[in-house]
Structure formats: C-alpha cells, structure tokens
C-alpha cells in the first residue's frame, strides 16, 4: 500500500516565489491591522519614510545622516516583509497541499434515481454534480466517479478513496451500517450502489476541506487571540516607555533622533513572535493534514494539546478487531455435536467477523445440516440493547447467543438454572482475556463459545507515551468486566468501561468534564454522534456515517482509531511551539535593551558605559546592529515555526524546564552574540 506524499519542501522555489509576492500585498494596512505588533512596525516604517523624504527635500541633518535614516527605513521595511513572508509561506504550503484535492472537485455527471414502493430505480436523467441537492438520489456503478457526498442507501461497492486519503488500497462501503458514507471525487471500482446526497453544493466535505487547508476559512483560536491581546498590551506599554524617554533626554540635554526612538521601540516590542504567530497557527493545521486528519478549526487542534482524557474503543483500536471463535464448551447435559449445531444455527444471521468465525469453526458439515432447519425461521439480529442474536425456528424453538449476563437473564426468566460449570468456564475465559458467548435453547443454557482477540503490537508503548504526556486513557468495550480488566491491564490503559452502551460514553464524558477535564474520543457510527459532539475533541472516521462526521470536529481520512494519539501530539506541539517562540521573543528584548539604551545616553551620561557590556563601536552601529538582528531573526525562525518545536513526552515540569533553558536562556544569550557579530561587521564599512 502506498500513500500520497504530502511532504512539501520547506523552501520550495515555487512556494517561495508565491510567498514573496504575497508579502508585498500583505503590506495593505487593512490586512496588517489584524496583527497589532506588525501594524505598529509598519507605522514606524512609514514615519521613517516621511523623515527620509523631508530630509531629502530640506537637507536638514538634525535627525542624523540621510544614509543612516534610509538604512533604518529599509531594515524596518524588511522586518515587516519577513513577518508577512512567514505567514504567506505557511499559507502557500497549505494551498499546495490542497492542489490534488482541487483536481477531484471537477464537474461530474450523475445518474439520478428515485425512491418508490418497490425500492430505488434509475430515472434515466443525467445531471451535473453541481445540480444535485440535499436529499437527491443517484446511482453509481463500476468505473463511476461519485459526484457528491452521500450515504449508501442500497448496495455494496469497492471504492478507491486515494484521491482523498492517499491510500491506494480500495475499501468496502455498504448501506445500512456505520460504513455507509461516501465522498464526492472518489471512484467506484466494482458493483452498484444507490446514494442519498447529504450536502448542498459548495458545502461538500471536499470543498470544506480545501477551504480549511488553504487557510481561507481559518479563524484565530482562543489561545491565539489571548496571546495577540497580550502582545498588543506589551506594545502599548513600550509606546508609553519610549514616549516618556523624551523628557528624560531633554533634562539630560541629550538629543534623541526619531530614528533612535523608533529603533528602540521596534526592538523592545515582541516583533519576533508577532511576526510568526499566524504562521505557527497555519502550520499546525498543515501538520494535522499531513497526518491525514482534517481539523474543522484551529481550535480543535489546539484543544487536542490540552486533552486530559482519551476514550478509545477496544475492538479495532486496542485489539486487531476480528475476534475469532477458538473453542466450543458444551454444558454437562448437552452433547458436543448438538451444541455445535446450536452454535451454527445462532450464527446464521450474524454477519460480523465473530459470527463468520463461529460458522468456520463449526465446519461445513454442521452448517449445511442446520441450514434446512433454519428454513422458515426468524433471524434475530444483534443489537447493543439486547446484546444477543440468534434464530427462532418455524416450530417455535428459540436459540439465542450473546453475552453472559444477557443469556443469564433469559435463562432466569424462563425459570431455568444457569449451569455452574458453564459459569466457571465463562469466568475462566474472561480471566484469560477471551470473550465468552453463551448459547441457549428455549432459555436452557447449552454451552459457551470462546472468542479470542489479539492486542495490537506496540499499543502499550503508545499508551505509556500518552501517560507521560499526562493523558489518561480509557478503554470502552461491550465485554464483561473480567475480560475488559484483562485486556486493559495487558494493553496498559488507565481505566475501562465494560458492558458499555452508547449512553455510557456520553455519561462518562459529562462526568469528566464536570471535574474540569478536557475529553477526546473517536467514533464512526450514528450512535456515536452525541458523544462526539459532547467531547471537547471528537475524531470521526471518514468511512463513518454523515451524522458522525458532522458531530466531530476532526475527520480521520485513514479511518485509524489510534490516530487520536497523533492528534494529541500535534496539538501539544502547536502549543509548545507558540509558547517557546513567545519566550524566545521576549527574552530577546533584554539584549536589545543593553544595546540601544546605553547608545542613546552614553554621550551625556558617561556612567552608562558600564551598561555597554557588549562593547559596541558607536551609538549608530549599536542601533543598526540591534534592528538588523531584530529583522533577520524572524526568517531564521521560520523553519522552526513551520515544522514545530519537537515534543518530548517527559512530563510538563521537565518540559517547561527544558524549554526555559533552551529558549529562555538561549533567547537572552543569542542576541548578545548576534548583535556583537553584526557590530563588528558594520565596523568594517562604517
């Protein structure tokens, strides 16, 4: 199996070219006002441009040499352009990711169908995919491209979803279950299906996906808004600080030029994080996409990073999923041959892998011998409420197969005693991690079937990783408590919910949320929709029902339930990247302070020479060195902003100490070194 390569070079030539053009367009004040920090830098740049124009017209050099002011202007302009470039490059990468998706959004002919008393029939009308409306029906056969999102209402088909998921292996979709959803742009490889349209034109999954990936509908997350407000407050404070320096300078008989004031202001405000903030958010969405996860908002990705509890289904997530029958254990008064026939009869209506494995274990001879007996009988499908399945024969004989407690209730209701030997065997199977299915005939327990499931390799290590992140894992299963406990201990989950019904998930989520915790869960069925909507992070499978996809705030294109683990890591990486770069940006200001403030007052207050710990050549070179470093640090940090700071599951305290050491202390030391090097280089030309 191959996957479409979603990796794009960080500085792809075409993307860089696009981003450079957008950097200039983003100088539009109407656009840049969304970023208060960079807006003030742009205003400062405009002021310096005005100073240069006036000086050029009048020849007045009271504000310093013309070359000096022009240099300051160009450096400030580059600072704004670098910040715009970071955001534009992140957007360009997202748009590049959407190119292959856009190709699938072409007009596709659709063969309409209508519903009648006799089922569904083709109308013979062929229309464009854009003319399909919510509730319409269409037919697709082998070779057809599915024109619109929908749910299969009749038929079963093999579908190629590689245009959406990148996965080359075809998948099976059929009506009437949790695997009924189909996506416009995918291709039918075999058989015939009738699909009901579940979206309006322009609102399909693919179109929403493209808009999100391209950043067209990206909204700032609550954390991002909060940080923007904080940075704006910092900027306001430093405006006040710089303004109050004027009377101090006049008192000290120290003339300070407009260029010096502006340079000090621009260097003290958090321009680094201000320039990279949008890029970090866009890149977070991009990383989610590369993991084949479509987040409906940046908030969902961000929230995933703060998740406290993770709900996971046992079957297909923690275990392989296809449980197989391994043994038949008949009751003492029941012959083995008769019991095997009862097992086969009770599984004829069971289309699950478990039911098929029971028929396989029973053997062809037993199955063929009971098929005649089933003629005219009523097949009983399995439901989550009854937790039983089976058959009622034409002579009234009721054969049931199901969970221990469900069959025990049936037995007790019939006035029959539950065999102690079978009860012991049930406990033994459960204690060994198996799933016992008890079979009864007219309420009389006939024996028990042992099902065994296999825990996915490496899953316990993944749960240990989540535990280090501070995330509690909870396994949800319909198994009895003994089996659930065995699997939970073997898999390494922190807690489990046994004999779970759909409402149990919802109740557990509400209980944890009431305790102030953030909860994530996955699901694919309509019965999962309420819990997905209730959870703080709901990941729905792309193969699942439309109701599940609408209820969740993320969609996993790979249909991998363990993807929740990656989603949590992506969310944490987004939060850490934003936090570390904010720390680095604010720490930077310390060095810039020691570069510029002594430079402003050192001539009139020689005692400030002691603050010139970098030994900078002159006031002019000190100011130039500081704002040059302030400008070039933004593009130097673009790769880190786009790739994200690497997350290590070492605990919150250890992670904080590590990042403070690297990005806090490093944020103080690096500018000292950088500004000094720039000053030495300027000394060669000044």
Q: Which residues are catalytic?
A: 313
Query: What is the spatial distance between Cα 236 and Cα 230, in angstroms, rounded to a whole number?
Result: 10
Do residues 479 and 379 make contact, with C-beta atoms less than 8 angstroms apart? no
Query: What is the spatial distance between Cα 355 and Cα 344, in angstroms, rounded to a whole number?
Result: 9
Is residue 373 classed as helix, strand or coil in its secondary structure? helix
Strands 150-160 and 187-197, how do they pair? antiparallel
Query: What is the spatial distance between Cα 124 and Cα 143, in angstroms, rounded to a whole number?
Result: 18
The Cβ of residue 41 has, within 10 Å, a number of other Cβ atoms equal to 27
Tokens 């690297």 label which residue? 662
Is residue 320 classed as helix, strand or coil in its secondary structure? coil
Tokens 């260029």 label which residue? 259
Which neighbouring-strand residues pair with 497? 476
Do residues 405 and 412 make contact, with C-beta atoms less than 8 angstroms apart? no
Strands 554-556 and 537-541, how do they pair? parallel
End-to-end CA distance of the chain: 62
Backbone torsions φ then ψ of 368, nearest 5 degrees? -65, -30
- Report DSSP letters for 531-581, one per residue: HHHHSSEEEEETTS-HHHHHHSSEEETT--TTHHHHHHHHHHHHHHHHHHH
Query: What is the spatial distance between Cα 101 and Cα 107, in angstroms, rounded to a whole number?
Result: 13
Is residue 235 classed as helix, strand or coil in its secondary structure? helix
The percent of the chain in helix, strand and coil, each rounded to the nearest 5, is 55, 20, 30
User: How far does CA 215 lie from the centroid of its chain?
Assistant: 15
Which neighbouring-strand residues pair with 452? 324
Measured CA distances, 366 to 341, 386, 514 (Å) = 6, 27, 53
Q: Please report which residue ranges of 348-477 form alpha helices under DSSP H.
A: 353-362, 364-374, 404-413, 420-431, 459-469
Query: What is the spatial distance between Cα 20 and Cα 240, in angstroms, rounded to a whole number?
Result: 34
Which neighbouring-strand residues pair with 114? 121
Tokens (6 digits) for 642? 């786009």
The Cβ of residue 669 has, within 10 Å, a number of other Cβ atoms equal to 13
Question: Under 8 Å CB-to-CB from 58, ≥6 apart: which residues?
Answer: none
Question: Edge-to-edge, what's the strand order for the sheet holding 444-452?
Answer: 324-330, 444-452, 435-441, 398-402, 388-392, 378-380
Nearest Cα neighbor of 628 from 671, 598, 662, 665 is 671
Is residue 196 classed as helix, strand or coil in its secondary structure? strand
Query: What is the spatial distance between Cα 248 and Cα 237, in angstroms, rounded to a whole number?
Result: 17
Taken in order 469, 471, 472, 476, the sign of the CA dihedral is: negative
């Amino acid at each position: 199996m191959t996957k479409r390569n979603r990796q794009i070079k960080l500085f792809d030539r075409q993307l860089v070219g696009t981003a450079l053009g957008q950097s200039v367009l983003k100088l539009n004040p109407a656009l840049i006002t969304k970023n208060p920090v960079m807006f003030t830098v742009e205003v400062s740049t405009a002021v310096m441009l005005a100073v240069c124009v006036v000086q050029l017209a009048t020849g007045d050099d009271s504000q310093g040499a013309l070359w000096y002011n022009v240099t300051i202007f160009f450096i400030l302009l580059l600072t704004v352009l670098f910040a715009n470039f970071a955001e534009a490059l992140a957007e360009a990468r997202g748009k590049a990711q959407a190119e292959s998706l856009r190709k699938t959004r072409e007009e596709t002919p659709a063969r309409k169908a209508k519903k009648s008393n006799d089922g569904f029939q083709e109308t013979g009308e062929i229309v464009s995919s854009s003319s399909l409306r919510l509730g319409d029906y269409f037919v697709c056969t082998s070779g057809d491209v599915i024109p619109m999102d929908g749910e299969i209402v009749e038929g079963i088909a093999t579908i190629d979803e590689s245009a959406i998921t990148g996965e080359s292996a075809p998948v099976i979709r059929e009506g009437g279950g949790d695997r009924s959803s189909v996506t416009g742009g995918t291709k039918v490889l075999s058989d015939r299906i009738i699909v009901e349209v579940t979206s309006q034109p322009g609102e399909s999954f693919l179109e929403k996906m493209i808009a999100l990936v391209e950043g067209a509908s990206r909204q700032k997350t609550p954390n991002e808004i909060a940080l923007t407000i904080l940075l704006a407050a910092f900027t306001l404070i430093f405006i006040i600080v710089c303004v109050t320096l004027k009377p101090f300078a006049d008192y000290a008989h120290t003339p300070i030029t407009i260029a010096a004031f502006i340079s000090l202001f621009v260097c003290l405000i958090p321009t680094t994080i201000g320039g990279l903030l949008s890029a970090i958010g866009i890149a977070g969405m991009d990383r989610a996409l590369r993991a084949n996860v479509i987040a409906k908002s940046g908030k969902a990705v961000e929230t995933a990073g703060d998740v406290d509890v993770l709900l996971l289904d046992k079957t297909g997530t923690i275990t392989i999923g296809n449980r197989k029958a391994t043994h038949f254990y008949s009751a003492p008064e029941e012959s083995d041959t008769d019991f095997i026939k009862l097992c086969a009869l009770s599984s004829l209506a069971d289309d699950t892998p478990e039911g098929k494995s029971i028929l396989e274990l029973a053997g062809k001879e037993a199955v063929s011998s009971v098929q005649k007996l089933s003629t005219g009988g009523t097949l009983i499908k399995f439901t989550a409420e009854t937790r039983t399945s089976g058959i009622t024969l034409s002579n009234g004989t009721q054969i049931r197969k199901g969970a221990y407690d469900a069959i025990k209730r049936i037995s007790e209701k019939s006035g029959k005693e539950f065999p102690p030997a079978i009860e012991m065997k049930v406990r033994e199977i459960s204690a060994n991690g198996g799933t016992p299915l008890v079979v009864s005939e007219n309420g009389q327990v006939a024996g028990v079937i042992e099902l065994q499931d296999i825990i996915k390799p490496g899953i316990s290590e993944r749960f240990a990783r989540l535990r280090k992140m501070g995330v509690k894992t909870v396994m949800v299963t319909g198994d009895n408590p003994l089996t659930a406990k065995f699997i939970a201990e073997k898999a390494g989950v922190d807690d489990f919910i046994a004999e779970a019904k759909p409402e149990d998930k919802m109740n557990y989520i509400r209980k944890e949320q009431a305790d102030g915790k953030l909860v994530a869960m996955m699901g694919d069925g309509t019965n999962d929709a309420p819990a997905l909507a209730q959870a703080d992070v709901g990941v729905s499978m792309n193969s699942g029902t439309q109701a599940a996809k609408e209820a969740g705030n993320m969609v996993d294109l790979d249909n991998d339930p363990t993807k929740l683990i990656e989603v949590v890591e992506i969310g944490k990486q987004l939060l850490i990247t934003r936090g570390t770069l904010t720390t680095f940006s604010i720490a930077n200001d310390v060095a810039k302070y020691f570069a510029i403030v002594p430079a402003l007052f050192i001539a009139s207050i020689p005692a400030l020479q002691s603050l010139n710990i970098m030994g900078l050549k002159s006031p002019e070179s000190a100011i130039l060195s500081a704002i040059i470093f302030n400008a070039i640090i933004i593009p130097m940090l673009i790769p880190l902003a786009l790739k994200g700071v690497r997350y290590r599951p070492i605990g919150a305290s250890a992670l904080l100490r590590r990042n403070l050491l690297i990005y806090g202390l490093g944020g103080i030391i690096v500018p000292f070194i950088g500004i000094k090097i720039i000053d030495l280089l300027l000394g060669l030309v000044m």
